[in-house]
Structure 1
């Protein structure tokens, strides 16, 4: 029987939030090393949301975003999506490449760099899940798209068929001086994998 996310108790929610805290901590360490700057962050917000609402959380289905996508295999299956708006994409590239550009369009080198940043950040979150659960997880090579949020969130369905109804959302705000990068990390497991995840965390 598929898990009813609405029935999760406070202990289960707290454990899922701990995944977000550890993953964000790992991500900020990796990002600071990459850009050679001291990056801070607000306390990440961790929620379980319905898949159909993800595009709205990214600013609406027609909002232009950068989406970095991975397929997850191993002891659980599903997808990972790292979404950032175009302004945050530019800020992130400026940090990484020592630029002060204001144009929103990214050239090929910048797109490649953004994909690599997304790869490292997503890897940080996935590593925290693996460490806390003992699950063996592998990810595909990342794919990057800049498109409307609604179009990007259709990718898991198009490529892999029906996904689970629910998504683990970790919303993190990275801060360097007056500049902010808001990143939304989505773990999109199938329903069976959500059960496996909670069982391995000892809360089901």
Structure 2
């Protein structure tokens, strides 16, 4: 069945629910890891073209921190958690208690902490998507880079091969008391994976 425009709202509603459950799972996992309450705001979920990713995180020349990994299984693809240096410092300071990256340099411990947060997010969102779809999906070991957004995405293309045309964006906001820090989480299914995902989610194609 062809996907009609009035199915777009349904498609985004399903993806928002996936994002909500994934955020809840991530908050629980982070609370357990840190032994302190961690909340995550209800995420904003959108679909956007792959070429719009860099612009969404500040432009291709903006220096960001990115955790990226490959999704393997029934619906392969790529995942990126991208956060600005300012938001990373806020996240490390307010959530983890580091006096982080004041000289735009990060210690091994700080980078390891950011990598683990990205890993928890990836696992949580991927687990909720797998539960919804019944598809087998598992993440590879994540990698971390501090570089310009355009360079990171180009490296991802070289590392993982051709990316899909579209990305699922989940705007992720961490809350700790009155403090908050924001990041961008992208799932970029391989070209043949989008139809599998939406069929499994019950969206008519």
Q: TM-score, normalised by structure 1?
A: 0.90
Tell me the distance in 2 between the aligned counterparts of 1:191 and 1:4. 16
Structure 1 window deviating more from structure 2 (177-186 vs 129-138): it is: 177-186
Sort the Cα spacing of 1:63 and 1:6 in 2 relative to 1 into closer, same or farther, 3 A: farther
**Structure 1 runs of 4+ off > 4 angstroms?**
3-8
- Which range moves more in the overlay, 82-91 or 34-43? 34-43
| 1:162 equivalent in alignment to 2:162 | yes
2:129 maps to 129
With the length of structure 2 as denominator, give the TM-score of the two structures. 0.90
Distance 2:100 2:73 in 1: 40
Q: How many residue pairs were aligned?
A: 202
Q: Over aligned residue pairs, what C-alpha RMSD do you find?
A: 2.1
Structure 1 alignment gaps of length 5 or more? none
Give the match for residue 27 of structure 2: 28
> Using a 3 Å threshold, how does the CA distance of structure 1 residues 169 and 5 change in structure 2: closer, same or farther?
farther
Equivalence for 2:81: 82
Distance 1:5 1:59, change over 3 A: farther
Deviation for aligned residue 1:5: 9.8
Tell me the residue number matched to 1:92: 91
Maintained 8 Å contact 1:34/1:96? no
Q: Summarize deviations over 1:172-203 as a string: whole Å, max 9, x none.
A: 21111232211211000012101000011111
For residue 192 of structure 2, give the secondary structure of its aligned residue in structure 1: helix
SS at match of 2:127: helix
CA offsets 1:33-87 (integer angstroms, 9 cap, x no match): 2233322333210000000000111111111111000011100111011111112
Counterpart Cα distance in 1 of 2:6 and 2:49 = 14
> Is the 2:70–2:160 contact (alpha carbons within 8 Å) kept by the matching residues of 1?
no
Cα gap change, 1:48 to 1:144, in 2 (>3 Å): same
